[in-house]
Amino acid sequence: MNYNPQIVPRITPSFSSVSLGKGRVATTVNGEFKLIQCSPSALDSVLALIDGQNTFGQIEQNLQSKYPLDGIRTYLSILLQEQVIEEVTGNRPGNPCPSTVLVVGEGRMAQILKDQAPQRNMKLLSFPAENASSIPDSTADLAVIAPSAAHYGQIFKLNNALIHRNIPFVSCYYNGDTVVVGPFVIPGKTSCLECAATYHLEDLNRKLRPNQQLPIAEISDLQMAYPIPDAFRNSLLEYLGDMLLEEIGQFLNGSDSLHLLDSEKHFFSGHCAPQEIKIAPTTACRCCHGLSRTYIRQGETSLPGFTEVFSPGHRPIRYTTGGFRSCSLEDTQNFIREALMKTGLDINIARVQNNPFDRFLPVFRGSVKANHRNQTPYYFKDLVVHGKGLHETQAFLSASYEMAERLSAKFYGDIPIVEAPYQDIGDRAIDLKSYVDRIVNQATGYETFRDDLPIDWVCAKSLVSGKAKFVPAHMVFLGDNRFKGQLFSNGSSGLAAGATLEDAILQGLFEVIEHDAWMIGQANRFTLPLVDHDSSSNQQLKDLIHGIHSLGYRVITRDYSNDLGFPVFRTWIVNPNSYTHYGLSGFGASLSAEIALERSVTEAIQSSDNQSMTRKTFFGRHRAAHLADASDSIYCLDYFHQRDILGQSAVNKVQDSLAIRDKSVRDLIEMAIEQLRSKMPDCDVLYVDLSREVLNIPAVRVIVTGDIQILNYPLVLVSPRTYHFGPNMQHSQSPAEYKDLYLGRYPH
C-alpha cells in the first residue's frame, strides 16, 4: 500500500480509456500510452467510487464485500503508481490581501514585473539597487533583484541585507551575454547569489597558482549587471516576467513546485529554452557560509563538550534479524512511524510492486518529495531509498532507517563548522596526511593538499580515547554542499541510523568494515572463495535462496573477508536468461557470519527495483549503447562475471561462533573496536552525532582512521592493506601495484 487511507483520490483529468476485451484496457495518461491488464468492468466499478469525495479508506470499505483487502490495496496502489488516479492535494488558501513584492532596481525587467504584478494579486514596491543598507526589516513578503546596471559589490550588499532580514528573493539581470534568472534564495535553506559568484570566480582561480588567485573581495567594483539590449525582445522578457511571478506566487501560496531553487537559468536572445546551471551552497561564500549558522574561523577553535554516548548500563540485544538492535521489533516500528509523521514531510514508504522475488522476500521503496515548508527548519530535496529484510516489517524498518540516515546526513547549517589549515589544527585532528599520502591520482576535481590550505572541520568523538577530534566536514556530510579542503570522496561509509545512538554507531561501524572489504576484495583480481549456503543454520534464509533458484536464478556468494577478521560476504543473484538485467549484488558485514550472509542476500534482492522514473526524450533510430552503462547488464559486469560469477575457487562454510547471550550493543561495539585495533593498533574509531531533534531518530557518521580502505569512486585513494591483500590472505607472495588493481566501473 503506497497511500494514506485518509487521503482523497481522484481520477487523473487526462485519463482516457478504451476496453479491448479479453481483460485488457488501453489508456492514455498525461500523454503516455498504457495497457492495463484487468477486467474492464472491475476497473469501471473501482473508478466509479473515485469521485473526489471518498477517501482511500472509504473506497476500501465499499469494495471489501467483493474483493480481499490485500487485493484492493494492491489494485489501488497500481492505479496510483500508473497515474490513472492521483491524490487530491486541495488548493492552498491564497492570500486574501495582495502580497507585497519588493522590486530592487530599474530598467526593462523591473518595468515588466510592475506591469504584470496586478494581474497576480501582488503589490510591487520599487527600491533602488544602490541603497541596500536602507531596506526596512518588514517591507515585503519577497523581493526581486532586477537591476538595470550594478556592480558585484552592490549585489552582494543586497544579497546580504535580504538574507539577514530573512526576506526570500530571486534575481534577474543581464550579464552581457544572457539574461540570468535565479537563483531563488530562501535564507538559511538554499544557496545565495554570492555562492553563485564564488563558484564562477573559482573557475578562474583553479587555473592560477595560489599566490595569483583573485579573492572575491577584489571584484566588488566590477560590473555584474548591464542594461538589457534591444536584441532581447519584449515578448521574451514578458515570458521571463511571467515565469518569475509564477514562481513567486507558487512560493507565497506554499507550493513546493519551485524550479529556481539552487539554479541559474541563462536565456539567450531569441531563445525561450535556457541553459541551466545548478548551484549548491558553499562555505567559501562570505555571506551565508554554505548555510552554516556557526562558522568558526581560525583562532576560535574551542571544542564543544560531549555528553556520554552510552546510556547507563548495558542495553541487552532484543532483535537480531538483519543486525543487532536494542529495541524490540514492535517498539521500533511504533517509534519510527511516529518520528517520520512528526516531520510534516511528504514521506511515502511502500512495498515495491515490480520486485520479481516478492513471493519470497519483500522490498520497500521510500521517497520524500522536495519540501521547503514543513515542521522542520530545513529544506529537503527529492530522495528515494530502499529497504530489505526477511519479512515485511524488517523491510519497512530498513527503508525507514535508510530514509532517516540520508535525511540526517545532509548539512543544514546547524552543526558547527571550524575553518582552519591543517598546520594550525593538526594536533587536534585526525591524521589527514596519512590519507593524502595514499592519493594516487592528483589530476582530479578535488583540491590539492597544502599545509596552509583552508579546510572545514567538524568535531567528532573518539570511542577509543573519549576525546574530541576534528575531522574534515566533507568526510561527514552527504549531498552537494561544497566544503573547503575536499581532497577525496568518502561516499556513505559509516552512515547509519537506529532506535538508539548505540544501535546507529554499531551499524555505522559495520558499514565501514563492509566498505573496506568491498573495495579491497574488488580491486584485487583474485577469485575469492565461494560460500556454501547449505552450511548456514538460518533455515529461513536457505528457504529464500531455494525460492530464488526455483525462479531460474542463480545465487552465488563470495567471501570478501580480509585480514581484519570480520565476516563480509558479497552475494550475486544472476538471471541466465537476461543479459540486459543479468546480475544484482549485495554486501553484508557483521560480527556474526549468519547476519552478514543474510544482509548480503537481502541487499542483492533490494537492488532489483530498477524502475525508471524518467520519461523518454528521444524518438528515432534504435540504440543499445546504454546497456554498456547499466550496472546490472552483462556488458557492464564483465570483470565480475568472469571472476565472481564464473570463477572456480575453494568453498567456505558459514562458521558463526559469536554467542550474543547476555551481550549488549555496547559490548559488541567494544568487541568490534578491540578486533580492529588488534589488526591496526594505531587506528581510531570516531563518530559524529548527526541526530536532528526535529527528526528524532538517532543517526551518526562513524569514521575509522588508520590503514582502512575508504569507499571512493573511482579508486584514487588506496590504503597499504589494499596492495598487501594478496600476501595477507595467502593469494600471492608479493603486493600489488596500483596498475594491477581493478580500477573500472562497478555497481554501487
For residue 93, what pLDDT band results from cuts at 50, 70 and 90? Answer: very low
Say yes or no: 78 and 108 in one domain.
no
Domain of 48: which CATH number? 3.90.930.60
pTM above 0.85, yes or no: yes
Whether residue 621 lies inside any domain: the answer is no
The whole-chain average pLDDT of the chain stands at 91
Say yes or no: 321 and 285 in one domain.
no
Say yes or no: 541 and 643 in one domain.
yes
Say yes or no: 124 and 225 in one domain.
yes
- What's residue 341's pLDDT? 81
What percentage of the chain has pLDDT greater than the value 90?
71
Residues 663, 667: Cα–Cα separation, whole Å: 6
Instruction: Please say whether the beta carbons of 275 and 265 come within 8 A.
Output: yes
Angle at 71 between CA 69 and CA 75, to 5 degrees: 115
Ranked by mean pLDDT, the top range of 94-98, 104-108, 513-517 is 513-517
Last residue of some domain: 65, 87, 109? 87
Whether residue 167 lies inside any domain: the answer is yes
Whether residue 618 lies inside any domain: the answer is no
Q: Is 505 helix (H, G, I), strand (E, B) or coil?
A: helix
Say yes or no: 580 and 692 in one domain.
yes
- Unique residue bearing C-alpha cell 532484543: 318
**Paired sense of beta strands 417-421 and 295-296, if any:** parallel
Q: How many CB atoms lie within 10 A of CB 53?
A: 10
Of 178, 370, 144, 369, nearest to 247 by C-alpha is: 144
Residues 292, 207: Cα–Cα separation, whole Å: 28
Query: Is the predicted pLDDT of residue 193 greater than 90, yes or no?
Result: yes
Tell whether omega for the bond before 727 is within 30 degrees of 0, i.e. cis. no
Whether residue 510 lies inside any domain: the answer is yes
pLDDT tens-digit series, residues 150-191: 999 999 999 999 999 999 999 999 999 999 999 999 999 999
Whether residue 299 lies inside any domain: the answer is no
| Count of structural domains, the chain | 3
DSSP H or E run through 515: helix 501-523
pLDDT tens-digit series, residues 382-402: 899 999 999 999 999 999 999
Whether residue 2 lies inside any domain: the answer is no
Say yes or no: 146 and 45 in one domain.
no
Say yes or no: 60 and 120 in one domain.
no
Say yes or no: 459 and 330 in one domain.
yes
DSSP H or E run through 183: strand 179-185
Last residue of some domain: 258, 291, 324? 291
The residue segments making up the domain with residue 429 are 316-610+627-748
Amino acid at 147: P
108-116 and 234-252 are packed helices; what angle lies between their axes, rounded to 10 degrees?
A: 60
pLDDT tens-digit series, residues 32-55: 999 988 899 999 999 999 998 999
Query: Is the predicted pLDDT of residue 661 greater than 90, yes or no?
Result: no
40-49 and 69-81 are packed helices; what angle lies between their axes, rounded to 10 degrees?
A: 80
Say yes or no: 49 and 182 in one domain.
no
Q: DSSP labels for 38-70?
A: S-HHHHHHHHHH-SSSS-HHHHHHHHTTTS-HH
Whether residue 19 lies inside any domain: the answer is yes
- What's residue 92's pLDDT? 46
Residues 487, 497: Cα–Cα separation, whole Å: 26
Mean pLDDT on 203-230: 93
Whether residue 349 lies inside any domain: the answer is yes
Longest C-alpha distance within the chain, in Å? 80
Residues 81, 67: Cα–Cα separation, whole Å: 20
Say yes or no: 357 and 283 in one domain.
no
Domain of 214: which CATH number? 3.40.50.720
Q: Residue 421 phi/psi, 5° resolution?
A: -75, 155
Tell me the three cell numbers of residue 15.
485519463
pLDDT tens-digit series, residues 105-156: 999 999 999 999 988 888 888 888 777 667 776 678 999 999 999 999 999 9
- Unique residue bearing C-alpha cell 495582495: 98
pLDDT tens-digit series, residues 562-576: 999 999 999 999 999
Say yes or no: 165 and 207 in one domain.
yes
pLDDT tens-digit series, residues 528-544: 999 999 999 999 999 99
Instruction: Write the DSSP symbol of residue 30.
Output: T
User: What is the Cα 433 distance to its own chain's centre?
Assistant: 28
Residues 555, 565: Cα–Cα separation, whole Å: 24
